[in-house]
Amino acid sequence: MSLQSKIIELANQYQAEMVANRRYLHQHPEVSYKEFETTKFIKSKLDELRIPYESPLETGCVGILKGGKESDRVLALRADIDALAMNEEGDAKKEFFSKNPGAAHCCGHDAHTSNLLGVAKILTELKGELEGTVLLVFQPGEEKLPGGGKLLCDTGFLQSKNVQAIYGLHTSPTHTPGTIATKEGPLMGSPDEFEVEIFGKGGHAARPHEAIDPIVLASQFVTIAQTVVSRSIDPTEPAVVTVGRIEGGTAHNVIPGSVRLWGTVRTLNSETADLIAQRLESILKGITEGAGGSYTFDFNKGYPAVINTSAETENVISTMQELFGEKSAILMERPIMAGEDFSFYQEHFPGAFFFVGSGAEESESTYVWHHPKYNVDDRFFQTAAPLMASLALNSK
Ligand SMILES: [Zn+2]
Ligand SMILES: [Zn+2]
């Protein structure tokens, strides 16, 4: 029997267990950086498999699986483990509905965690065929800045292990089970946030000449901000500036003293984001100073863009195709502008991130990420586990 057939057979054998583990985690979600029980659960499963682990951060851990074939090869597989700070919606009688109010696995990280535990089990079974070392990265805090991926990279733990490549995946409600999707180069955007306060001078609505109207200034800012992408950014470079919230004023006949605005900037590279931040601030400065007002401007950089290296992306695609046929791997034409802190690892190691189909009408799993009814089709594991295990075993 070929190594690939063995991997698929083991994944099928462990399918029920991966589903059960995911449901357990789904029922017991914990928000970013508070994944204490989740970490205990992961460690107990690694203990069962006699896989040693280290804890570079307060939550999460890194399992260290040494193969039977002596080699310098070190590969990292990453799963994020945190839930979102929100309430799950839907049938509360569903057997694995969230038991923790204010926390819900509505981004599929429960499935990522359970999948990596399943992969650990497959690799343990096939240890004799495994070359070098596989690091099983159970990472906390993907959903919340600064990002568990950043914190882990800041410890230098993975760097000290001489990781040569890293792979990560995400459930995808827009792809059917049995398929994956990815692309070389930019895959996901960099989400940054800005917060503005414009100060004028409050007064009577009928005596505007005695006031400095921050609502007029805020309106000018929102309008001129629209020209940043169209006039200051290379037309071939993707970028978005959106003001999503404005707050100011209390009555129809009062000019308020200040107005606040919140917005997001999405780009595929850090230089573009820096340029946008700089342009937004100079527009703000020009408008407010010209009118005798003032401003504050905070720009918070989110995660960098996810940029897949070519050899690792090619490896994911060809491994998937050898496992499940040519059509099972979808080559994406463009990146999506959602963010992922997997990008921090890619600043240090070659790596590829990919989406694994988890959406099907019959299992009500086609809701978008972060939807309160988000769900993952159980068949996700039948693709995700063999693919991750095959990447580790270099089986193609
Ligand atoms: Zn998410
Ligand atoms: Zn996610």
Distance 26 CA to ligand 1 centre (A): 14
What is the CATH architecture of 190-300?
Answer: 2-Layer Sandwich (3.30)
Query: Around ion ligand 2, which residues have CB less than 5 A away?
Result: 107
Residue closest to 170 by CA, chosen among 122, 117, 116, 89: 116
Query: Around ion ligand 1, which residues have CB less than 5 A away?
Result: 107
27, 226, 311 from 388: Cα distances, Å: 25, 43, 16
Distance 143 CA to ligand 2 centre (A): 7
Task: Please state the φ and ψ torsions of residue 234, each to the nearest 5 degrees.
Answer: -50, 125
Assigned token pair, 10: 């083991």
Torsion from C-alpha of 348, 352, 353, 356, nearest 10 degrees = -160
Are domains 3-188+305-393 and 190-300 of this chain identical in fold?
A: no
Q: Is the pLDDT confidence value at 395 over 80?
A: no
Taking domain 3-188+305-393, whether its CATH number is 3.40.1410.10 is answered by no
- Which pLDDT value is given to residue 66? 97
Q: Is the pLDDT confidence value at 138 over 90?
A: yes
Sequence letter at residue 240: V
Strand order in the sheet with 351-357: 53-54, 61-66, 131-139, 69-80, 165-172, 351-357, 180-182, 329-331
Average pLDDT, the chain: 96
- Which pLDDT value is given to residue 396? 64
- Which pLDDT value is given to residue 92? 67
CB burial readout 217-248, b (16+ within 10 A) else e: bbebbeebbeebbeeebeeeebbebebeebeb
Distance 67 CA to ligand 1 centre (A): 32
Confidence of residue 1 (pLDDT cuts 50, 70, 90): confident
For 168-213, the pLDDT digits (tens) are 999 999 999 999 999 999 999 999 999 999 999 999 999 999 999 9
Burial class (CB in 10 A: 0-12, 13-18, 19+), 156: exposed
For 89-117, the pLDDT digits (tens) are 987 667 799 999 999 999 999 999 999 99
**CB 360 within 8 Å of CB 166:** no
Average pLDDT of the segment spanning 322-346: 96
Active site residues: 82, 142
Distance 68 CA to ligand 1 centre (A): 36
Average pLDDT of the segment spanning 338-351: 97
Q: How far is the C-alpha of 390 from the C-alpha of 396, rounded, in Å?
A: 7
Q: Which ligand is nearest to the CA of 109?
A: 2
- Which pLDDT value is given to residue 91? 75
The residue to which tokens 């400065």 are assigned: 285
Q: Which ligand is nearest to the CA of 108?
A: 2
From the centroid of its chain, how far is CA 267? 15
Q: Domain map of the chain by residue range? A: 3-188+305-393, 190-300
Between helix 3-27 and helix 109-125 the angle, nearest 10°, is 140
For 73-92, the pLDDT digits (tens) are 999 999 999 999 999 998 76
**CB 109 within 8 Å of CB 82:** yes
Percent of the chain with pLDDT strictly greater than 70: 99
Q: Which ligand is nearest to the CA of 143?
A: 1
Residue closest to 117 by CA, chosen among 14, 219, 3: 14
Q: Is the pLDDT confidence value at 334 over 70?
A: yes
Q: Is the pLDDT confidence value at 378 over 70?
A: yes
